[in-house]
A and B are shown apart, each in its own frame.
Chain A
């Protein structure tokens, strides 16, 4: 297993948000986590990225225990995050944002190679590399956010709601890019409200409701269950 999380408990102050969540992602997999608003999806993915520290449970990547690793060292272990609502360094240029993604010393050595890969994936960014990131369109900002994470040369890419606020055509572009990144050998954990898209691309999926995993497995058997179709696709049969 690449990423292994078991019995994670995550809380904000005294308010628990995620209970007893176990989840894993293997090399070469795309795993989706679906669930309604407020289920704890962002909380979970932020904990996997090291931004939030779990209260209990175990978290590891490729045999390394991450529970005692400093937040700023998670990326050294091959984890990169595309956060909810992108969170670009808005006043910096596109290329400066990408350079922050490739800040860790192992990534710096491959800077030019990584930049070429990102520009090949998103040609629109090459033309706009000197523009201020905060002034780009939503779709282009999402490309920068994904490109920034790729610059860290991750083994596991964490994507939090990459389709949020984007036009349907742009959503298709973003998911096509995710597919290409996956074929390039990067494992992907995807948190999405766009359930059809999330299940279409995934090898496996987890359903998170009210802070707990309530179902998991391959997309087809999940979709075969009437209660899941009803809750997430809006029809039962």
Chain B
């Protein structure tokens, strides 16, 4: 059994990484729930954003917040373009998984071609920053990621819950024909949502660049966790995705501290299977 300090440190690390899981899963959750596209290309897009942040910061001297100013709108447009292409190709819910998986492989190859398969670490100059709370260390960047994830999740959730556009998106996901009978132009709204999903990937990527070590092969390791987060949090629910991300991050981190790091990948799917068998009301 590890010491209380070590366990507390593991809890903090887990909860903080949960913010990143939430950011990464948000795009898939929204697109699956409201556009009926199971879009796994967002993980590759997040890594593209991470590599661009690394590139801008390391070789062009652009600070990560300026990268955000460039990448978030650029990825929004990329999401709109992607949706336009999917509509032209008549991609359906079922085929979307295959098409976007292919797209993810394509983006991964592109990343590997440009930046090679070597591990890359973005030395932003902030990676060592921590604050000390009692006996615990809180890494500043991870904390920022969680704060950003929380703000974005609450904003997106409120937008879907309270605004006309949000209600229209939810209604159109349930019955597009009836939504259209009341004046909802689902096509136009779906472009907006697709842009937002892709912009989420950009934000996730910026924090991945700041926190993690980059390699094209890392994309695959994040997909499994993100799928579990999406399903546990409730498909189409951005706040649920964040809470599920924190839950899984917490459980993984505590498992690593109590047993061995090798057990961590088991955690997310164990939680997923238990919840699918138990079926609590929120899933």
- Residues of A participating in the B interface, judged by any CB pair closer than 8 Å: 49-51, 70-76, 80-81, 83, 87, 89-92, 96, 99-101, 103-104, 108, 148, 152
Which residues from A are CB-within-8-Å of B168? 100, 103
Shortest Cβ distance from B170 into A: residue: A92
CB-defined contacts of A72 to chain B, threshold 8 Å: 180-181, 183-186
Known: A99-B167, A103-B164. A89 touches B184 (CB 8 A): no
B175 contacts chain A at the CB level, 8 A cutoff: yes
Q: Within 8 Å of chain A (Cβ to Cβ): is B178?
A: yes
A75-B183 Cα distance, complex, nearest whole Å:
6
Contacting pair B183 A152 (CB below 8 A): yes
Given A51-B177, A103-B164, A108-B164, verify A92-B171 contact (CB < 8 Å). yes
Residues in B with CB closer than 8 Å to A87 are 175, 178
CA distance A211 to B167 in the complex (A): 37
For B181, list chain A residues within 8 Å (CB).
49-51, 71-72, 74-75, 80-81, 83
Q: Enumerate chain B residues within 8 angstroms of A76, measured Cβ to Cβ.
A: 183
Q: How far is the CB of B146 from chain A (nearest CB, A)?
A: 29
**A103–B178 CB distance below 8 A:** no
B282 in the interface (beta carbon within 8 A): no
Which of B164, B175, B183, B186 is in CB contact (< 8 Å) with A89?
B175
Which among A72, A74, A92, A108 has the highest number of chain B CB atoms within 10 Å? A72
Answer whether residue B117 sits at the interface, using C-beta atoms and an 8 A cutoff. Answer: no
Chain B residue, CB-CB nearest to A99: B167
Q: Is the CB of A51 within 8 A of B180?
A: yes
The B176-211 residues at the A interface (CB cut-off 8 A) are 177-186
Does B182 contact A101, Cβ atoms closer than 8 Å?
A: yes
Residue of A80, A89, A103, A148 near B174 (CB, 8 A) is: A89
- Supply 17 further A-B pairs (C-beta < 8 A) apart from A89-B178, A104-B183: A49-B181, A51-B180, A51-B181, A70-B185, A72-B186, A73-B183, A75-B181, A76-B183, A83-B181, A92-B174, A96-B167, A99-B164, A99-B167, A101-B182, A103-B164, A103-B167, A103-B182
- List the B side residues contacting A80 at CB < 8 Å: 181-182
- How far in angstroms is the closest Cβ of chain B from A109? 12
Question: Whose C-beta in chain B lies nearest to the C-beta of A108?
Answer: B164
Chain B: interface secondary structure?
A: helix
Bound-complex Cα distance A99 to B183 (A): 12
14 contacts between A and B (CB under 8 A): A51-B177, A72-B183, A75-B183, A80-B182, A87-B175, A89-B170, A89-B171, A89-B175, A89-B178, A92-B167, A96-B167, A96-B171, A104-B183, A152-B183
The answer to whether B174 and A75 touch across the interface, beta carbons within 8 angstroms, is: no
Q: Are B182 and A75 in contact (CB under 8 A)?
A: yes
Looking across the interface, which residue of chain B has its beta carbon closest to that of A104?
B183
Distance in angstroms from B29 CB to nearest chain A CB is 16
Closest-by-CB residue of B relative to A97 is: B171
Shortest A174–chain B CB gap in Å is 19
List of A residues within 8 angstroms of B171 by Cβ: 89, 92, 96, 100
A101 to B175: give the CA distance in the assembly, Å.
Answer: 13
Q: A103, B183: Cβ atoms under 8 Å?
A: yes
A91 neighbours in B (Cβ, 8 Å): 170, 174
Which residues in A have their C-beta under 8 angstroms from that of B170? 89, 91-92, 96
- B164 and A152 within 8 A (CB): no
- Chain A residue, CB-CB nearest to B180: A72
**Which B-chain residue is minimally distant from A49 (CB atoms)?**
B181
A110 vs B183: C-alpha distance in the bound complex, in angstroms?
16
Query: Which residue on chain B has the smallest CB distance to residue A71?
Result: B180
B161 to A, closest residue via Cβ: A96
**Provided the pairs A89-B171, A96-B167, A103-B164 are in contact, do residues A152 and B178 lie with their beta carbons within 8 angstroms?**
no
Bound-state Cα–Cα, A90 to B174, Å: 8
CB-CB under 8 A from B183, the residues of chain A are 72-73, 75-76, 103-104, 152
Q: Which residues of A contact B185 (CB under 8 A)?
A: 70, 72
